[in-house]
Chain A
Amino acid sequence: MRVRKNIATSDEGFLFNPTTGDSFSTNAIGAEIILLMKKDIPTSEVVDTICEKYDVDKALFERDLEEFTLQLKGNSILE
Chain B
Amino acid sequence: MTEAVAARPSVALPGLRVSRSAVVCALYILFLMLPIYWLVNMSFKTNEEILSSFTLWPAEPTLRNYAVIFTDPSWYMGYVNSIIYVVMNTVISITVALPAAYAFSRYRFLGDKHLFFWLLTNRMAPPAVFALPFFQLYSAIGLFDTHIAIALAHCLFNVPLAVWILEGFMRGVPREIDETAFIDGYSWPRFFVKIFMPLIASGIGVAAFFCFMFSWVELLLSRTLASVDAKSIAATMTRTVSASGLDWGVLAAAGVLTIIPGALVIYFVRNYIAKGFALGRV
Our verdict on whether A and B bind, yes or no, reads: no
- B-binding residues in A (CB < 8 A): none
- A-binding residues in B (CB < 8 A): none
